[in-house]
Structure 1
Amino acid sequence: MSLPTIDVTSAKRLLDQGAVLIDIREADERAREHVPGARHNPLSRLSAMELQSATAVIFHCRSGARTAANAQRLGAASECDAYILEGGIEAWKKAGLPVTVDVRQPIEIMRQVQIVAGCLVVAGIALGVWVAPVFLALSAFVGAGLVLAGTTGWCGMAKLLALMPWNRRVRKALAA
């Protein structure tokens, strides 16, 4: 079953009529930026929602790709009409609709992984070219880690970054 997509204007109209907006992003993504009033039900812990008064549910992620890829699971988790917000929170912001932003929160872990991995690859190549070829192994090691993360869903760098002091505030907020 594929859920229909809905544009931001139509979504806003449905929300004004009693629909519920559901953010399926992970907590670290939502902590930095979210739509006010949207309920949080992360995809990794998706559960059936008790929405007795809702006329419909509208699921959103960052860009719409994650919701589209998981449409069957999302549809099964809802008991009423369900839609996917086309373009996700990015389209919501582009339409000028309100978004709560907390810049004190760190950027999401996967973006941190991308930044660190990219820096390590560039450093490995630069050091390999200008210092000693053995430093090229650093780039190979990071590449192998990214392949492992992509094939298994387990990312050691993300686990390590989650322990960093700037990310502890998000973890403490989630535990409360």
Structure 2
Amino acid sequence: MSAKNASPAVDVATAHALIANNPDTLIVDVRTPGEYDSAHVPGSINLPLDQVDAHLGRIVDDAGGRMLLICQSGARATQACTKLVNAGLPAATVVTGGMNAWITAGGPVERGRERWSLERQVRLVAGAIVLLSIVISIWVPAARFVAGFIGAGLTFAALSNTCAMGMMLTKLPYNRGAACDVDASLARLRAPGLRA
């Protein structure tokens, strides 16, 4: 796709067919290492969204075949795919619905220590801040503006398909999980034989 912000996408059934028909298809999981450790598609690599910009040139240069991008629900994979397609990598495709759809469809999953998804963490933090600011506003009326600020941030996040709070939460030790070896993940882009 040549249009800016256009991200090619396939559903889970089509992704399964692509993988079955082309064993060199690489599944790139752009979630946090903590989310990846919790559950991921067997044979996938972890390249968190916050690392895509830093390594964009290398990803585009080294990618040697079809790349399926997956996250929890599809939003982060879409952001990564848009960046890759706009940088000249036409073989990048988003798995629509992400891991949520993959698991629902009965796709194979390697499980580790269960962790909350980033989206669930954002709901918890945003909800807690709003609730706390409303309670505090009983004594300090200006505290209600904090709730308004969070509401405005969530509205902007929905309209722009980005989330500043989510990006901040990715930096927490809880979400870092086992350290993601970005160099090893990038090396697998170039070496199809190491993809399985």
Larger Rg: 1
Asked if structure 2 preserves the Cα contact closer than 8 Å seen for 1:28 and 1:109, the reply is no
The question of 1:75 aligning with 2:85 is answered yes
Alignment of 1:38-53 (within 5 A): 38-46=44-52, 47=56, 48=59, 50-52=62-64
1:121 aligned residue (130, 144, 149): 130
Number of matched residues?
Answer: 163
Q: What's the CA shift string for 1:1-23, capped at 9, x where partnerless?
A: 33422121221121122211111
SS of 1:58's partner is: strand
SS of 1:62's partner is: coil
Aligned equivalents of 1:137, 1:81: Cα separation in 2: 51
Aligned equivalents of 2:153, 2:104: Cα separation in 1: 35
Residue type of the alignment partner of 1:173: A
Asked if structure 2 preserves the Cα contact closer than 8 Å seen for 1:124 and 1:136, the reply is no
The question of 1:85 aligning with 2:90 is answered no
Match of 1:11 in 2: 15
Residue type of the alignment partner of 1:112: Q
Match of 1:26 in 2: 32
TM-score, structure 2 length as denominator?
Answer: 0.62
TM-score, structure 1 length as denominator?
Answer: 0.68
Q: Provide structure 1 residue ranges, at least 5 long, that are not aligned to the other structure.
A: none
Aligned equivalents of 2:129, 2:83: Cα separation in 1: 36
**Bigger RCO (CA 8 Å, 6+ sep):** 2
Q: Provide structure 2 residue ranges, at least 5 long, that are not aligned to the other structure.
A: 182-196
Asked if structure 2 preserves the Cα contact closer than 8 Å seen for 1:6 and 1:83, the reply is yes
Percentage of matched positions with identical amino acids:
27
Match of 1:111 in 2: 120
* Residue 36 of structure 1, CA deviation: 1.5
Match of 2:145 in 1: 140
Aligned equivalents of 1:172, 1:84: Cα separation in 2: 24
